[in-house]
């Protein structure tokens, strides 16, 4: 492999402080670096070129980014330097530190762990693909449950060539299937020297979040696997963080339970504003690394951050600046917590209504309900009709859209349905099933 001297330097920093983390890197992860070219010369000039700064690739007029009035008029309360200008490759520094504070405030378990500064990503999908850039080689084993967000397969298998191994998500008693998870992880750890384990709670598509005991169970399985000399990249996709509807569910990111348990484990926390701040189209996510060690952690974080920045620079260059400014301002708003709470209550009332409606025995012959307690979704296991056939029938005859998953599961996004429409939604799905069974 032909490797640039800057990449070699970052690799050495990682190797010196934790050889296992170096071994986890993909070939691309080993080669990537953040160049000291235009961007760092520009950053230096920003500090020192007080007379004329002719370094950066934007246009300047009257001391601020040049802009068109038609666009400025729409966003006239945001200074052009915070909207029209480029943001740094790793994201706006104030936003990164505000989000770090939020992570620590929301997740007591992470407070005593070595946690990097979050890098801003173009939504969570981008955070996941950056993680795959740095850590997934074709053929690497990726552990996922049988019920998963479909994009994981498209990304990790089709795009990155990983070998996905699945385990059944639910146990017979309706909780997370720790036994199956253990079996799959430990068997895979004996066959591979590296595993990528991706976990997502609140879950898409099931709407299930772990209990604290289940979270401890997952963490102990991952630690046991690491103890068999297997390196583990444990990714926690926290897209739906905060939408918890039951007292018994874990209210923290699973990353806090996994991080800090073994030097062979690198925990990657993927979270963001997309769902937490109800800004799906803004594309603001965060990628944060958590380590077992405190000694040398800052050096490893520096090297991983530079590599992540290189992966961003070489693909999308940087993320939307205006979106970052909007999310930062929201985080600085005193009313944000209350606003978020109110919206979470609306979502909780929909989940509650779904639970009430589906309790009715009249549906017993049509479906079983998978346990759910969080997030946007719930799933039905259909007893007598094909999910895809039902989906198209509901669409064509009743104008109702739901998602068919596999042969028998139907995913319903109650996040999109007003409380007063929920009864009718389930009655109509039931009617659709009866039409098809007749």
Ligand X SMILES: Cc1ncc(COP(=O)(O)O)c(C=O)c1O
Give the interface with ligand X as residue ranges (CB under 6 A).
123-125, 149, 200, 204, 237, 239, 272, 274, 280, 285
Among the listed residues 60, 55, 119, the one whose alpha carbon sits nearest the alpha carbon of residue 85: 60
Residue 389, token pair as written in the block: 């056939």
Q: In the complex with ligand X, which residue's Cβ is closer, 215 or 433?
A: 215
| b (16+ CB within 10 A) / e for 175-193 | bbbbebbbebbeebbeebe
Report the residue count for the chain: 438
In the bound complex, what is the minimum distance in angstroms from residue 279's beta carbon to ligand X?
Answer: 9
Task: In angstroms, give the least distance from the CB of 387 to ligand X.
Answer: 19
Closest CB to ligand X among residues 186, 331: 331
Minimum Å gap between C-beta 380 and ligand X is: 18
135 versus 149: smaller Cβ distance to ligand X? 149
Q: State phi, psi for 201 to the nearest 5 degrees.
A: -140, 135
Residue that has been written with the tokens 């986890």 in this structure:
24
Residue 284: CB minimum distance to ligand X, A: 8
> Would you say 289 or 363 has its CB closer to ligand X?
289
Angle value at C-alpha 278, between 426 and 80, nearest 5 degrees: 155
Q: How far is the CB of 245 from ligand X (least distance, A)?
A: 17
Contact by Cβ (8 Å): 150, 128: no
Closest to ligand X by CB, 90 vs 122, is: 122
- Which of 30, 24, 18, 19 is closest to 294 using CA atoms? 18
| Burial class for 21, CB neighbours closer than 10 Å (0-12, 13-18, 19+) | buried
CB of 377: closest distance to ligand X in angstroms? Answer: 9
CA distance 355 to 340: 23
Tokens of 67: 């802009």
**Strand ranges, E, within 238-341:** 265-272, 285-291
Comparison of 207 and 260: residue with beta carbon closer to ligand X:
207
Q: How far is the CB of 82 from ligand X (least distance, A)?
A: 22
Nearer to ligand X, 249 or 274 (CB): 274
């Amino acid at each position: 492999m032909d490797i640039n001297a800057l990449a070699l330097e970052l690799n050495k920093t990682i190797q010196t402080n934790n050889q296992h983390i170096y071994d986890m890197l993909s070939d691309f992860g080993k080669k990537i670096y953040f160049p000291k070219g235009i961007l760092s010369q520009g950053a230096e000039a920003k500090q020192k070129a007080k007379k004329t700064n002719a370094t950066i690739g934007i246009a300047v007029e009257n001391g601020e980014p040049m802009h068109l009035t038609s666009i400025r008029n729409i966003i006239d309360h945001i200074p052009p330097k915070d909207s029209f200008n480029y943001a740094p490759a790793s994201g706006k520094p104030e936003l990164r530190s505000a989000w770090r504070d939020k992570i620590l405030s929301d997740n007591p378990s992470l407070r005593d762990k070595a946690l990097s500064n979050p890098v801003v990503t173009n939504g969570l999908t981008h955070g996941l693909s950056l993680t795959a850039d740095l850590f997934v080689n074709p053929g690497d084993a990726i552990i996922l449950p049988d019920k998963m967000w479909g994009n994981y397969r498209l990304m990790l298998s089709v795009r990155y060539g990983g070998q996905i191994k699945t385990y059944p998500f639910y146990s017979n008693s309706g909780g997370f299937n720790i036994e199956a998870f253990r079996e799959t992880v430990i068997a895979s750890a004996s066959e591979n020297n590296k595993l990528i384990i991706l976990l997502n709670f609140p879950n898409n598509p099931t709407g299930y979040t772990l209990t604290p005991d289940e979270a401890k169970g997952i963490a102990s399985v991952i630690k046991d696997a690491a103890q068999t000399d297997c390196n583990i990249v444990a990714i926690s996709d926290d897209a739906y963080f905060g939408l918890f509807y039951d007292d018994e569910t874990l209210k923290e990111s699973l990353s806090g339970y996994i991080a800090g348990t073994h030097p062979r484990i690198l925990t990657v926390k993927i979270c963001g504003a997309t769902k937490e701040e109800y800004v799906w189209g803004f594309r603001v996510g965060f990628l944060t690394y958590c380590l077992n060690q405190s000694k040398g952690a800052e050096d490893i974080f520096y090297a991983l951050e530079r590599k992540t920045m290189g992966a961003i620079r070489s693909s999308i260059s940087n993320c939307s600046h205006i979106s970052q400014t909007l999310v930062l301002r929201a985080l600085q708003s005193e009313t944000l917590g209350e606003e978020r709470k109110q919206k979470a209550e609306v979502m909780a009332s929909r989940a509650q209504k779904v639970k009430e409606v589906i309790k009715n025995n009249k549906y017993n012959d049509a479906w079983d309900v998978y346990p759910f307690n969080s997030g946007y979704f719930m799933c039905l296991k259909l007893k007598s009709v094909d999910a895809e056939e039902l989906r198209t029938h509901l669409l064509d005859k009743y104008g109702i859209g739901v998602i068919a998953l596999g042969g028998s599961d139907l995913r319903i996004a109650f996040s999109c349905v007003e409380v007063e429409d929920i009864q009718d939604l389930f009655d109509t799905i039931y009617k659709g099933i009866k039409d098809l069974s007749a």
